[in-house]
């Protein structure tokens, strides 16, 4: 795997990057990472929130992958069976609701080595398990400066229907900024006057 395909940190702002190198809620709420004002209430909430990593989470964050879009009935044993070919698994945890015990449709898998995590990252994204196409990414909570989880209005990815898409990640990389951005309000105003 080439190092340029893995999201990484850099303080250079002079060239375009597909991936966020630091978590800025307003920027990740923007398709090109250029917005300076929030466009939904969740972004405002994320921007104004303070988040500290979960102290109960242990293990090496550089050896840990996030596995999302799981089928609700997918178990730790099933995931271990699918991912163990990449190397020794230290831990595998499907995240569940504390009250009901029902899966929240995502998991974290920690490997003994970083190379195993990278191999799984490369090979398993988009693979179907129990009828669900997996999203595999790195764990960002303990690795990305400024990280805010989805429950605070942050996170990555999202569904178009919710109106709360987040960019700068593997699932939705930033798009190259346009040199002459459109004035969408003007375009829609023009279309409305043409209909009359």
Query: Span 19-34, mean pLDDT?
Result: 94
pLDDT of residue 4: 41
CB proximity list for 111: less than 8 A, separation 6 or greater: 63, 64, 65, 86, 87, 88, 89, 90, 117, 120
Per-residue pLDDT at 6 exceeds 80: no
CATH 3.30.70.330 range(s) for the chain read: 58-141
How far is the C-alpha of 175 from the C-alpha of 112, rounded, in Å?
A: 34
For 163-172, how does the pLDDT look when each residue is reduced to its tens digit (9 = 90+)?
Answer: 789 999 999 9
The CATH number assigned to the domain with range 58-141 reads 3.30.70.330
For 127-155, how does the pLDDT look when each residue is reduced to its tens digit (9 = 90+)?
Answer: 999 999 999 999 999 999 999 998 899 99
Top-confidence residue, 158 or 104: 104
How far is the C-alpha of 107 from the C-alpha of 95, rounded, in Å?
A: 5
143 token code pair: 């690795």
How far is the C-alpha of 171 from the C-alpha of 136, rounded, in Å?
A: 9
pLDDT of residue 190: 53
């Amino acid at each position: 795997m080439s190092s340029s395909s893995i999201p990484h940190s850099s303080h250079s702002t002079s060239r375009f990057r597909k991936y966020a190198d630091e978590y800025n809620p307003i920027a990740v709420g923007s398709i090109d990472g250029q917005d300076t004002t929030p466009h939904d209430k969740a972004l405002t909430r994320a921007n104004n929130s303070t988040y500290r990593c979960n102290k109960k989470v242990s293990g090496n964050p550089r050896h840990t992958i996030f596995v999302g879009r799981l089928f609700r009935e997918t178990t730790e044993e099933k995931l271990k069976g699918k991912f163990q070919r990449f190397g020794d698994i230290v831990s595998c945890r499907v995240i569940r609701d504390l009250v009901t015990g029902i899966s929240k449709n995502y998991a974290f898998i920690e490997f003994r080595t970083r190379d195993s995590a990278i191999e799984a990252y490369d090979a398993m994204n988009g693979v179907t398990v129990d009828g669900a196409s997996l999203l595999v990414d790195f764990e960002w909570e303990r690795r990305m400066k400024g990280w805010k989880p989805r429950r605070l209005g942050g996170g990555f990815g999202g569904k178009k229907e919710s109106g709360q898409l987040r960019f700068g990640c593997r699932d939705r990389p930033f798009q190259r900024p346009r040199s002459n951005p459109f004035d969408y309000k003007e375009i829609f105003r023009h279309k409305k006057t043409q209909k009359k």
